[in-house]
Structure 1
Amino acid sequence: MQETSTEPTSKPKSRLEELGYEQQLDRRLSVWEVVGLAMADVSPTMGVLFLSAGIFAVGGTFAIGASLILSVVVILIAICLAELASMFPIAGGMYSLVRRVLPGPISWITTFNYLIQGVVIPASISLGMVAFIKDLFPGISLPDQAIALVLLGLAMAIALTKVEVGAWATAVMVIVEVIVLSIITFAALKDPSQSLTDVTIHPTMLTNGQLGAVGFVVMLATLAPAFNVINGYDAALGFSEELKGGERAIGRAVIISAIMACVLIVVPLTAAVIAAPDLTEFFNAPAPVVYSVEQSLGPYARYIVDVGGIVALFNAMLSLLMYFGRGVYTTGRDKIWPDAVNNKLGKLNRFQAPAAGVVVLVVPAAILIFSSALNFLIIFAGTVIAAVYLCVGLAAFWSRFNMRDEERPYKMKLWPLPPIAVIGFTALALASQDPEYLIAEGVLIVVALACWAGSKVWSRKSSESVTR
């Protein structure tokens, strides 16, 4: 009689373990919870109400066309991210994807362009919220910077707790955002003043106080600021190690997030243009979409805008800290810094949250709240976003040649169109940036390359101390 073995069979390794990582973060999130966190980072209300002012100022009603073009590019970027993330389901987001595929210098450039967003954007968001709070509650007399610090601290406190707390908090606020956007869209469409065909096919802009046709050169220049409006869907990648359902699930999450971002931004943005009773006044308004809402809803519009602005901005700040905090945590776990820094960054707190990674972002962000250079850095954020996506496109393209035998749980469709389109579009967006922002990007690249060279030294010292 054959004996039956009672020895336990070894559990097959997960993809994360195959890549050399331990499963430290707990897998507690569903695909839709991750999508909710990503949508909080996208913050469609913020994009529609405030960030859209930049593309209206540059390209007039071609903002609609630019957003539609960008929507296609966004889906192609998401397809590239989905394939790479299924291959490398690591909490470092785009930093991890590029690091696994492209050479060290490009990896470090991506790291710096990626992480600087986690400092600059939360600082600007915390200050941006103050105007809406004071408009809603005019009796508040505290300095703007003091209120901004409190808001930043509150977001940090939530980001340091269990991931489900942040996921549910952002989900509730995303629902509020969708309600606000629905009201905006309804208010805009109930009394249309412009022809959808005319504003889309024959775009106009304000030049020297007069409405005129939008030329091809201006159309190209409009694409770069449009990049800032539909952005943040990549935040889904930061929760790869906390997502249930396997590697394909993260691919689905990032593509769903990208599609929702496009719909929730492009539809109300287009509706606001159609509703504008006077395009000259629309273009002259500090926030053109808010102008259209006020014309449709009258005095009640202020309260909708204030509530929508507060919720959208806080939601984005919280999601950003959670997302980029996990990116900082992953850099420490990857031991790219000196040992003393790695040991701090690569640890989780008792709530299984990357506390040091979040704090590393919050401290400089708090300092930036008092900085006069913040406005420059906010605009510069668009440049670094384009630079990161350029590296992602290069990684998606190169991985097909350099990693032919690598398993791809989520294989991109339409190859090689997505990476080629992403590389071309992001290169065009970078080329159209003002010289001052390209110079700043050059400085950031020099610093990144200096750290790459330094990493050779401190990694060698770390290896020597281990062998002693």
Structure 2
Amino acid sequence: MPGPSSSMSAASAPKLHRGLKMLGTLLITLSAISPASSVFIIAPGVMTQAGSGAFWSFVIAGVVGVFMAFVYAELASAYPLSGGEYAIVARTLGRLPGFVALGLLLVTQLLIIAVIALGVGTYLEVLFPGLPGPLVAAVTTGIATVLAVFDVRVNAWITGVFLGIEMIALAVLTVLGLFHPARTMGDLLAHPVVATSAGVAPASAGLIAAASAVAIFSYNGYGSAVYFGEETKNAHRGIARAILWALAITVAAELIPITAVLLGAPSLAELFSAPNMMSYFVTARAGPTVNSVISLAIALAILNAVLAIILITSRMVFSTGRDATWPRAASRGLAAIHPKTGTPWIATIATGMLGMALCFANKDFLLVMTATSIVAVYAALCLAVLAGRRNGSTAHAAYRMPWFPLAPLLALAALVYVTYESALDPAVGRPSLVITVGIGVVSVVYYLAVLRRRGTWELHGSNER
């Protein structure tokens, strides 16, 4: 809690405007997850790693998601703050763990903007060959940044329209696969295969488990509803409902079309070796015209996802300014709220500009940087909900998960296993774990050498109950 050395009293701390209802928060949250972007951009990475075993990777990730949704819902109902996970961890486990979570999230969220935006060029290239991918991604991020400065209710409406378009694209993908199956569900379940130089070979349980880390990343975002806690009416109850609904809709919207693609692909070997797996599938089943229409829909879905992620990330960046994380002038600027739109406009512009710059980084580097950091954040949240029940810091939560402490304990067990399997993967998993640890170490050093010594890092937020 803020102490005597606070540079900004709770009364004077900038406050966001409560203009959202639960539905608006849900629409932005689902748009940030962007099931279509996950299916068309992230799922191919899981298939490259686990082959048709990607089905089981997404099932494992879905189970972990259910556990984590319970954890998120309880914690967010206690602390529906724009700082999101770091604000929660800092209030339940302590400031140092909270700042480590902030370090991981800042890097991950900014990189996710670029990871998603780079997909725009991939799908627009179907219509306009030769487009420079990084430049298209940066322009997309710039457009999304301009939109993100407007009133959050306007953005809820915009994201809702685009979300409907991407759901239609996923429905088409599902129909193409389920109505023209090339293999049985039993074969998919019992005999997963992975690509090899000679075609395909049986996929091992280790590969499937390691790929589930990326699948978890694909579902990730349902907890992002908490970032709008200070802009949502009746947030202590509404945010928990938004999180649970977002997880349920996301799992269905991603797992069903992915299953349809794996069942309906004419050749798994050709699918796994295709430069653009989903374009290969759609073209093989419906022809180039349908593929062009779907590609345009996915490009719009990606723009929508970038917009929603900028909205989310800018709230966290705003919160870091309000909590005096940076030098005084920078913190004051990031904490500024536009008098007309009621949005953290400087934090939004700063977020967008960093996202634009990262669009020119290597995509494989971006994926390695983000692959396992979310696992560490999930583990911190599991420990936070256990600590919150024990020390009473979440006693005021409006939502209580069923069967406590089963969900956080099972989620922790699954996360430990995923981490172990990731450590055995020399291509993506192990380098990503090393980077995650490195970010954590840098965060600890900054906190101890700068923030604790300066004594000005304070935790501000809404006092609404």
| TM-score normalised over the length of structure 1 | 0.89
Match of 1:352 among 332, 342, 355: 342
In structure 2, the partner of 1:313 is 302
Using the alignment, how far apart are the partners of 2:180 and 2:96 within structure 1?
A: 54
Q: Structure 1 residues 222 and 127 mapped into 2: Cα distance closer, same or farther (>3 Å)?
A: closer
Shift of 1:30: 1.6
Which of 408, 421, 424 matches 2:397?
Answer: 408
Task: Quote the residue 2:175 is aligned against.
Answer: 186
1:459 to 447, 455, 458: 455
Cα distance in 2 for residues equivalent to 1:290 and 1:396: 42
Superposed CA offset, 1:78-116 (max 9, x none): 110100011111111112111111122211110011111
- The answer to whether 1:445 aligns with 2:451 is no
Q: Secondary structure at the match of 1:254?
A: helix
User: Which residue number corresponds to residue 13 of structure 1?
Assistant: none
Q: 1:158 to 1:393 in 2, by over 3 A?
A: same
2:221 alignment partner in structure 1? 232
Does 2:58 correspond to 1:62?
A: no
Question: Using a 3 Å threshold, how does the CA distance of structure 1 residues 121 and 416 change in structure 2: closer, same or farther?
Answer: same
Query: What's 2:189 paired with?
Result: 200
CA displacement 1:387-412 (0-9 Å, x = unmatched)? 11111111112111121772121011
**Cα offset, 1:24, TM superposition:** 2.0
Q: Which moved more, 1:27-36 or 1:288-297?
A: 288-297
The separation in 2 between residues aligned to 1:62 and 1:130, in whole angstroms, is: 28
**Structure 1: distance between partners of 2:394 and 2:261:** 49
Shift of 1:21: 8.5
- From 3, 24, 46, the equivalent of 2:37 is 46
Q: Are the equivalent residues in 1 in contact too, given 2:193–2:200 (CA < 8 A)?
A: yes
Report SS of the residue matched to 1:348: coil
Q: 1:244 aligns with which of 233, 243, 248?
A: 233
For the 8 Å contact 2:61–2:213, the answer to whether it is kept is no
Question: 2-side partners of 1:203 and 1:312: how far apart?
Answer: 30
Cα distance in 1, alignment partners of residues 117 and 410 from structure 2: 34
* Paired residues of 1:282 and 1:292 also in contact (CA < 8 A): yes
Corresponding residue of 2:64: 73
Aligned to 1:170: 159
Distance (Å, rounded) in 1 between the aligned partners of 2:217 and 2:78: 27
Identity of aligned residues (%): 28
Deviation by residue 1:179-210 (Cα, 9 ceiling, x = unmatched)? 11111111112211110111013322233324
Q: Who is 1:96 aligned against?
A: 87
Aligned to 2:147: 158
The separation in 1 between residues aligned to 2:131 and 2:371, in whole angstroms, is 31
Contact 1:273 1:289 survives alignment (8 Å): no
Instruction: Quote how far apart the aligned CAs of 1:49 are.
Output: 1.7
For residues 257-336 of structure 1, the aligned pairs below 5 Å read 257-336=246-325
1:242 alignment partner, SS class:
coil
Deviations 1:280-302 (A, max 9, x none): 21222233333222221012232
Distance 1:292 1:104, change over 3 A: same
Q: Distance in 1 between matches of 2:180 and 2:324?
A: 58
Question: Aligned to 1:361, which of 351, 362, 380?
Answer: 351
Q: Would you say the 8 A contact 1:91–1:330 is kept in 2?
A: yes
Q: Which 5+ residue runs of structure 1 have no aligned equivalent?
A: 1-18, 463-468
1:126 corresponds to: 117
Mapped contact 1:193–1:277 kept (Cα < 8 A) = yes
Cα deviation for residue 348 of structure 1 reads 0.6
Q: 2:431 aligns with which of 429, 433, 436?
A: 436
Q: Is the 8 Å Cα contact of residues 138 and 355 (structure 2) preserved in structure 1?
A: no
Deviation track 1:313-358 (CA, whole Å, cap 9, x = no partner) reads 1111000100010011112222233332321122211211111222
8 Å contact from structure 2 (residues 66, 247) kept in 1: yes
Paired residue for 2:360? 370
For residues 24 and 31 of structure 2, the distance between their equivalents in structure 1, rounded to whole angstroms, comes to: 11
Offset of 1:245 from its aligned partner? 2.8
CA separation of 1:23 and 1:362: change in aligned 2, threshold 3 A: closer
**Unmatched 5+ stretches in structure 2:** 1-9, 423-428, 459-465
Q: Which amino acid in the other structure matches residue 227 of structure 2?
A: G
SS of structure 1 residue aligned to 2:372: helix
Report the more deviating stretch, 57-66 or 163-172: 57-66
Name the count of aligned residue pairs: 441
Task: Specify which of 382, 401, 407 is matched with residue 418 of structure 1.
Answer: 407
Following superposition, the deviation at residue 213 of structure 1 comes to 2.4
Structure with higher Rg: it is 1
Report whether the alignment pairs 1:114 with 2:109.
no
4+ residue runs of structure 1 moved beyond 6 angstroms?
Answer: 19-23
Aligned to 1:397: 386
318-327 vs 111-120, which moves further: 111-120
Q: Distance in 1 between matches of 2:247 and 2:405?
A: 19
Question: Does the 8 Å contact 1:338/1:459 carry over to 2?
Answer: no
